[in-house]
Chain A
């Protein structure tokens, strides 16, 4: 069974940093692109970042480019999202996701609140 478990969320002040982690199990982690998707409270879904199987390629929307960094450790079956220069509009539930055909499996999400 595919399992994705996020951690590292919480309350952070604007301009500060936070790093999310995702522990994957139930599949061969190194064979899949992985992604982060977020959802602001009572809002829709927004794709945040994708990383290739080896980690050599990363992709971001303009809204987070230059502030967020996705990374992975295949030996640990773990995915990360380093978020810098956080803004209030980054407040959301962040989902770790496996990118099979599009996004096929999702974690339960972790809440990030950016507020002073």
Chain B
């Protein structure tokens, strides 16, 4: 099974900061990497699919990059509504697996 490791587990930043979240796969996942945002009490929402494709309706301050085993989600200017837990997810091979999440807080 492919293990997905996210770092940091908790991130505290100020409004307007550039924020980077990391996700490392235990083997090459060929850019089949998605990012989801989950706000408290809500279902997850797709932000980025296949490493760097912005889902329809998602603000352009969100972007993704990476290849091989290492991937990042960047928020160019953190907004108060971005407080949430962010999960990465590989769909390169079965079983599909999620990272354990990064909880993003506002300082």
Contacts and interface: CB of A to CB of B under 8 A. Distances in A.
Interface of A: 35, 44-47, 50, 59-62, 95, 99-109
B44 to A, nearest CB: 6
Contact of A46 (B43, B55, B94, B98): B98
Q: How large is the interface on B (under 10, 10 to 19, 20 to 34, 35 or more residues)?
A: 20 to 34
Interface of B: 1, 32, 34, 36, 42-46, 49-50, 53, 55, 87, 89, 91, 94-101
Contacts, number: 57
A44 B101 CA distance: 7
B89 A101 contact: no
Contacts of A59: 94-95
Given A95-B43, A102-B91, A106-B45, 14 more contacts: A45-B44, A47-B95, A60-B95, A61-B1, A95-B44, A101-B34, A101-B50, A101-B91, A102-B32, A102-B34, A104-B49, A104-B55, A105-B46, A106-B43
